[in-house]
Structure 1
Amino acid sequence: MDITSSLLDILCGSIISEHIRSDDIGFFDKEKSVSFFRKKAEKHTADKKKNVTLETFDGDILLSERLDRRILPDVPDPTGQRTSFDRRGVVDDPNDVDAVMKKRKSGIRYKSKFPVTVDFRDQDGKAHTLKGESRDISETGILVRLEKEDAEQLKEASETELRFDIPPGSMPEGHEMSIHTAASCVRVFERDGETCAGFEFAEDLGTYMHRHKDRYLYVSSVILLLFISMMVVLMRSESVIYFKYNAVMYSYSIIAAMFLLTRYAFGALYRPVKIDPAFKPSVTIIIPCFNEETWISRTIISCMNQSYPPDKLEVIVVDDCSTDRSVEVIKDTIEKIASAEGERTDIRNRLSYIVQEQNAGKRAALCRGVDVAKGEFVIFVDSDSFLDPYAVVNLVQPFKDPKMGGVAGRTDVANTYTNSLTKMQSVRYYIAFRVMKASEALFDTVTCLSGPLSCYRKSIVKEHEEAWLNQKFLGHKATFGDDRAMTNFVLSHHRTYYQDTAVCSTIVPNKQKVFLKQQMRWKRSWLRESLMAGAFMWRKEPFAALNFYIGLLVPILAPIVVAYNLFYVPFTQHIFPTTFLVGLLLMSLMMSIAQLFFRKSSTWYFGFLFCLYYEVVLLWQMPLAWVTFWKSTWGTRMTPSDVKEKEKRQRHKNAPVDTAEPDAIEKNEGTRAKADAVSGEKHAAPSAGKHAENKRGKHANV
């Protein structure tokens, strides 16, 4: 019997007591009983899915928070009229930022719609069971829709217990599990024609999950990580023994294994810089935007809703001559915020927008914002990235070091639960930041300050502004890879860092075609900028430099090594590549188990699937990147470089040129071809007005 069948049999066994009757299967027959249990399991799973509803937005499944009555609830009130006083009568110490952040997260209510069972006893001690459906849930309580007559019984109830399953996508990753907890009914009321009962949990979900799930996952994942690491080391010792038979391949094997193991080890040692309440320098957030009408409003609001002194925070939106409703949405959002906040936080002087007269590229848009920025630091945020309310205050903390030039925040995937592709990307993003960037941060040499959320000293950006805009490689203008390019300018003479507590979430591609084009673009920019970084990285700390050059060599040679082990050796020497495949399996498992260790999420096994997907599909993009890494076309939207490429192709066909952005790209790809958590590169903005046209018209990609 295979593993899948065994797991299914276990699932079947868990529902026997609920569904089986002795006359259903008669005398025991293995084949018939397994078939019976299989059908019951499939029906059980289908029934659970049928009763769960997740909200979608523009085709993506996103966490849906129940909004506060205020549009900017986390902004400190300079007048002192509003304080951090919560409904439970607790006043937070504003200097204890960690406690305030924890309390805020525990109070976020997420819209939900899944079955809830309520068990209780009446005044006579008689047990009752009610069936309801959730309407929202937080760490501390849940709102349940019930029949009116059922809800009335709860007013005199005692020994109340709740049973429900939190489905993936209803709450942040790691919360998906079965809950059976004591609770108390705090109120019953009518809303929108429904009778609802509000329950407060006897212990918050964080504590409950730690007792029933998290601590066991923590211990088991640590054991598995140690076991996998030991297995990898033992396998590489075999490479040492057989080194003389193929020095090149075994050298690569040893170097690659040690490189990955040290990355995980250094990532485990990483710690973010703690918040100093007294350190809050002036910052300007710059949001470049190109055809992002779907997400730009949410991005602007998240950037304004920061737990940061209002007089030290400025937001500038630069529209890159969008052809959709982006400008209209930007104007409406600014007016909405200004009307709601009034003069209390001086919105009209802190939130502004610029519309470029022509499409000039993301770099020109960012520089246009930098030119008018008032803050000492500038924060670059992509137009489909959403900031946590404490992102800015965390992001600036490493700058207490005067040698620090740039800092990257963590980027999570906002649409994780849309499909399998987004789940794989979610695991990849988290490991790329929490392990890979964290290991680089240990030596203050983060090699990519990702586009969704990164912060720089404005003086450094201004110093390299013209070189950044004019960047060429082998005679071709560099249009994407703006984040890596700026990181190189900063890293060449300053330190760079990764701040894990500065969090934003972003929309990732949910279609294979768009995803593959994005990955091709990233590989080209990675190769280009890594080669350029190689000219100065040798001046950094020896271990950081060694780590960088190995990290450059391993991915470039990977296609050759894989082809040699999977094709050349089996066909020429008739040896099955067992060792190679086991090594690949172990490294894939390490990525998945690391996700389980850090996030306790049900998406952990998608890390394993992503590694397989990478070996089968993404790996083979690298050879193409070798011979096309000078190309400046995006592939997922009609930038000026794409228009020129299209003109060139059509000239050979003697066909008329259509330079308009195709509807299919506009609809399906426009909002997704973006700077990702690892490379952050997206065409989102331009340069504008007469000042911009005169100053850098010669640099525009038109």
Structure 2
Amino acid sequence: MGSEQEKQGKKKKEQEEQDVLFHLKPDRRLLSYAPDSTGTRTNRDRRGKDSAGTSEGYIKLQQDDKNGQRYLVDYKVTAVFQYEGKKYTETLKGEDISTTGILLTQPAGSEALPLLEAENIKLTFEITPGSMPEGYEMTVKRIPAQCVREAERPDGTKLYGMQFKSTLAEFSNTHRKNYMLAVASFFLAVIVFVIVLMRAESVIYFQFNRWLYLYSIIAATFLLTRYLFGSFYRPTKIDPKYTPGVSIIIPCFNEEEWIQHTILGCINQDYPIDKLEVIVVDDCSNDHSVEKIKEIIEKLKENDGDRKMYRIEDRLHYYVQPVNKGKRDAMYLGAHKAKHELLVFVDSDSFLDPYAVRNIVQPFKDKKMGGVSGRTDVANTYTNTLTKMQAVRYYIAFRIMKAAEGFFDAVTCLSGPLSCYRKDLVLKYADDWINQKFLGQKATFGDDRSMTNFILRHNRTTYQDTAVCMTIVPKSYKMFLRQQMRWKRSWLRESIIAACYMWKKEPFMSLSFYMGLLVPIAAPIIVLYNLIYIPIMHRVFPLAFLVGMLMMALLMSMAQLFLRRSTTWIFGVWFCLYYEAVLLWQMPVAWFTFWKSTWGTRMTPADLAELEKKKKKEREKEEKKKKKVNEP
């Protein structure tokens, strides 16, 4: 009995730990977006669409492909329709769905439904969270549809291809999203008004506590201006004729679960095949990553066939480091092996949108542009509360904060999941980057911020919101906290370095940067002062401070609701509260542990060495206890 309960508990734990991701319906072609060398399929005539060689044409092409993408689902669908004057209500199963239609199935042996001849078909079903991209989760009630085809499988299962008379996005805008937009707009206006009013009060009472009110004014100014300039930002439009050579580099370490998905996303790009290559560098993984890399490459070569339609052998390469040297060395090796003028770095647990490369190269038409960051969305949003919080945080961090920096062509972190650099600049700074030390300690992480600093010092960096990738985020608080500690250490180190030259940039951007440096560093002191010192010493409840915190949290959530109209918006508030209660206190720790080289989220040599030290200390303690016990 106990054994059976243990098995059930273990199974339940495994299910809870499993990432929740939507599942794309497999295309009959392994590389459904890549044009082939024979000219049979191009990036202009796919599925009968014509880009017409214009930016507008490519926008339509991407939107049509997005609308046509099918997701595997398991929905209960109620179909109400009329046939020969009678009204019918039938329950079927939804097997796959796109924004334009759904495939319904009926069990073998059931009487076929006259859906092809039926009138006034209305479908009702629920789009469960995680079964489609974020923002589509909703209950769809009585959406008008028509049956466009019928079929039957060998096992007798009947299939009905249903086309919605309006896309799910249009249906949602009419029935739900316009309401959400109105609510978000109203609350955004109220929140901004309250924040400005509170900061006006800070000016009035400035003379009574200069440092406290100065901080509150700076914090509010920094946050509101980031949101303001983030709203002004616009991505660079696509020029279909601009296709510089691109080498995608994937540094990999212990990523057996996701590496094949990552490689497929990188090679399956809507981009000329003679101008795109993919290089995978495994940093001596101690799991099955190398086997997975070899397996997917062989599968792609088989798919290539004798005609070499996609030239996989020439465009997809992998290298294995003989010993683990760290992520930077893996990226460095890839940069030296690359043959093209632009380098795109992609994390081994990130998955590119098929148009990511075409979009991310566009800002490089500006010869002074040194690097570009794409947008990173969370792939496993609906796994648990933690991943939902991170989904909101990622979206605001990119679409607002990074977009605001992109408005001034001065993005301070070209993020690891998807970033692009000029190869000549990467090689120019490579030696200093690889051997970087800070206060005598070798820098082993923060590679994205570090390279950005080298580039931004003398060149421009920007953000391209239309270049999208999805990444896997930590689903356990233990891993998340370790990741955040690593990020704070690298942020602190690189922000101090950037502070030495940011004053030379555009004045407003420089001022915003220095405010953004001050606010998180001083935040722990301000929180302690308001929540501990004031109530104890002056016996005053810190209502104003708590209201201010709530307004900042609601600003993040309402921005998410306004821009994405997703049900995850409420988790923006939870993230901000979690930040104040937990993450904020990592900053003082980061001040005194910046020298640590452990990643915490994976067993790098530094992590293994740290683990061995802990085990050694534990063994020494045990030996001391034994000696004490044995002493007379």
TM-score (norm 1): 0.83
Specify whether residues 400 and 604 from structure 1 end up closer, same or farther in structure 2 by C-alpha distance, changes over 3 A only: same
1:252 is aligned, of 211, 215, 218, to: 215
- Inter-CA distance 491–552: structure 2 relative to 1 (3 Å threshold): same
CA distance in 2 between counterparts of 1:231 and 1:318 reads 51
Tell me the CA shift for residue 240 of structure 1: 1.1
Alignment correspondent of 1:506 = 471
SS of the equivalent of 2:596 reads: coil
The within-5 A match list for 1:680-691 is none
The counterpart of 1:223, out of the listed 178, 182, 186, is: 186
Corresponding residue for residue 191 of structure 1: 153
Q: Could you tell me whether the CA contact under 8 Å between 1:528 and 1:630 is conserved in 2?
A: no
1:356 corresponds to 2:318: no
Any conservation in 2 of the 1:92–1:100 contact (CA below 8 Å)?
yes
1:500-529 Cα offsets, whole Å, 9 max, x none, are 000000000000100011111111110011
| Contact 2:78 2:91 (C-alpha < 8 Å) held by counterparts | yes
CA distance in 2, matches of 1:515, 1:217: 30
Matches within 5 A, 1:296-307: 296-307=259-270
> Does structure 1 residue 82 correspond to structure 2 residue 44?
no
How far apart, CA to CA, are the structure 2 residues paired with 1:223 and 1:58? 38
Letter of the aligned partner of 1:104 in structure 2?
Answer: D
Q: Distance in 1 between matches of 2:602 and 2:132?
A: 33
Residues 53 and 241 of structure 2 are in contact (CA less than 8 Å); yes or no, is this contact kept in structure 1?
A: no
- The residue aligned with 1:287 is 250
| Correspondent of 1:277 among 235, 240, 264 | 240
Give the Cα–Cα distance (whole angstroms) in 2 for the partners of residues 650 and 166 of structure 1.
49
Tell me whether 1:135 sits opposite 2:95 in the alignment.
yes
Shift of 1:635: 2.1
The yes-or-no answer on 1:397 pairing with 2:362 is yes
SS in 1 for 2:262: helix
Which structure carries more relative contact order (alpha carbon 8 Å, separation 6+)? Answer: 1
How far, CA to CA, are the matches of 1:93 and 1:168 in structure 2?
37
Alpha-carbon shift at residue 479 of structure 1 (Å): 0.3
Residue of structure 2 in register with 1:606 after alignment: 571
Alignment of 1:351-390 (within 5 A): 351-390=316-355
CA contact (8 A) 1:413 1:429 kept: yes
Q: Give 3-state SS (helix, strand or coil) of 1:118's partner.
A: strand
* Gapped regions of structure 1 (runs ≥ 5): 1-54, 657-702
Aligned position for 2:170: 207
User: Partner residue of 1:569?
Assistant: 534
Q: 2:26 aligns with which of 58, 61, 67?
A: 67
Which secondary structure state, in structure 2, belongs to the residue aligned with residue 592 of structure 1? helix
Alpha-carbon distance in structure 1 between the residues aligned to 2:300 and 2:121: 42
**What's the TM-score, normalizing by structure 2?**
0.92
Q: CA–CA distance in 1 between the matches of 2:397 and 2:26?
A: 31
Letter of the 1:134 counterpart: G
Q: CA shift at 1:92, angstroms? A: 5.0
Paired residues in the alignment total: 600
Residue aligned with 1:300, SS? helix
Counterpart position of 1:668: none
1:186 is matched by which residue type in structure 2?
V
The verdict on how the C-alpha distance between 1:510 and 1:447 changes in structure 2, with shifts beyond 3 A counting, is: same
Match of 2:144 among 171, 176, 182: 182
Indicate the percent of aligned positions where both proteins have the same amino acid: 58
Aligned CA distance change for structure 1 residues 152 and 426 (closer, same or farther; 3 Å): same
- Pairing of 1:147-186 with structure 2 (within 5 A): 147=107, 148-179=109-140, 180-186=142-148
Q: 1:246/1:630 Cα in 2 relative to 1: closer, same or farther (>3 Å)?
A: same
Q: Distance in 1 between matches of 2:166 and 2:614?
A: 65
Counterpart contact for 1:94–1:100, Cα < 8 Å: no
Distance 2:367 2:219 in 1: 35
> What amino acid is the match of 2:514?
Y
- Tell me whether 1:535 sits opposite 2:500 in the alignment: yes
Which whole-Å CA distance do the structure 1 matches of 2:601 and 2:388 have between them?
21
For residues 169 and 557 of structure 1, the distance between their equivalents in structure 2, rounded to whole angstroms, comes to 38
**Residue 242 of structure 1, CA deviation:** 1.1
* Cα distance, 1:207–1:585 mapped onto 2, change above 3 Å: same
**AA in 1 matched with 2:244:** P
- Report if the CA contact (8 A) 1:286-1:381 is conserved: yes
CA contact (8 A) 1:380 1:454 kept: yes
- The answer to whether the Cα contact below 8 Å between 2:37 and 2:311 also exists between their aligned partners in 1 is no
- Residue of structure 2 equivalent to 1:46: none
Q: Which amino acid is the alignment partner of residue 366 of structure 2?
A: D
Q: Distance in 1 between matches of 2:117 and 2:341?
A: 60
- Superposed CA offset, 1:105-151 (max 9, x none): 0100011112111001111x110100112111101100112245354
Name the structure 1 match of 2:282: 319
Give the match's secondary structure for 1:154: coil
Q: Is the CA contact 1:144–1:197 (under 8 Å) kept in the aligned structure 2?
A: yes
Q: CA deviation at 1:93?
A: 3.5
Once the two structures are superposed, what CA deviation does each residue of 1:529-585 show, in whole Å capped at 9, x if it has no partner?
Answer: 101111111111111111111100000000110111111111111111110111111
Query: Unpaired runs of 5+ in structure 2?
Result: 1-13, 622-632
Task: Name the structure 2 match of 1:414.
Answer: 379
2:611 and 2:571 map into 1 onto residues whose CA distance is 37
Does the CA-based 8 Å contact 2:116-2:146 persist in structure 1? no
Equivalent-residue separation in structure 2 for 1:402 and 1:637 (angstroms): 38
The 3-state SS of whatever aligns with 1:153 is coil
Higher mean C-alpha displacement, 144-153 vs 583-592: 144-153
CA deviation after TM superposition for structure 1 residue 652, in Å:
5.0
Residue 649 of structure 1 deviates from its aligned partner by 4.6
Could you tell me which residue of structure 1 aligns to residue 11 of structure 2? none
The CA distance in 1 between the partners of 2:490 and 2:370, in whole Å, is 21
Separation (CA, whole Å) in 2 of partners of 1:216 and 1:353: 50
Matched with 2:303 is 340
For 1:189 and 1:545, locate their aligned partners in 2 and report how far apart those are by CA, in whole Å: 63
> Which amino acid is 1:363 matched to?
R
CA separation in 2, counterparts of 1:516 and 1:150? 56
Look up the SS of the partner of 1:251 in the other structure.
helix
Matches within 5 A, 1:631-650: 631-649=596-614
Change (3 A) 1:186 1:115: same
- Which runs of at least 4 in structure 1 moved beyond 3 Å after TM superposition? 55-58, 83-87, 89-95, 147-151, 643-656
Indicate whether 1:106 and 2:71 are aligned: no
Structure 1: distance between partners of 2:257 and 2:615: 32
Q: Conserved in 2, the CA contact under 8 Å of 1:151 and 1:188?
A: no
Secondary structure (helix, strand or coil) at the match of 1:136 reads strand
Segment drifting more, 222-231 vs 311-320? 222-231
Aligned pair in 2 of structure 1 residues 56, 270: CA closer, same or farther (>3 Å)? Answer: farther
Q: 1:327 to 1:580 in 2, by over 3 A?
A: same
Distance in 1 between residues matched to 2:28 and 2:557, nearest whole Å: 39
SS of equivalent to 2:569 = coil
Residue 235 (structure 2) pairs with residue 235 (structure 1)? no
Structure-2 separation of matches of 1:169 and 1:151: 31
Superposed CA RMSD? 1.8
Q: CA deviation at 1:56?
A: 8.0
In structure 2, what is the equivalent of residue 549 of structure 1? 514
> Which of 421, 425, 428 is the matching residue for 2:390?
425
SS of residue paired to 2:103: strand
Structure-2 change in CA distance of 1:488 and 1:86 (3 Å): closer
Q: Give the secondary-structure state (helix, strand or coil) at the position aligned to 2:381.
A: coil
**Kept in 2: contact 1:56–1:62 (CA 8 A):** no
Following the alignment from structure 2 to structure 1, what is the Cα–Cα distance between the partners of residues 151 and 272?
A: 38
Query: Are residues 320 and 655 of structure 1, via their aligned partners in 2, closer, same or farther at CA, if it must alter by over 3 Å?
Result: farther
Residues in 1 aligned to 2:587 and 2:154: alpha-carbon distance in whole angstroms: 55
Tell me the residue number matched to 2:291: 328
CA apart distance, 1:90: 5.3
Partners of 1:57 and 1:113 in 2: CA distance? 19
Residue 435 (structure 2) aligned to one of 470, 478, 483: 470
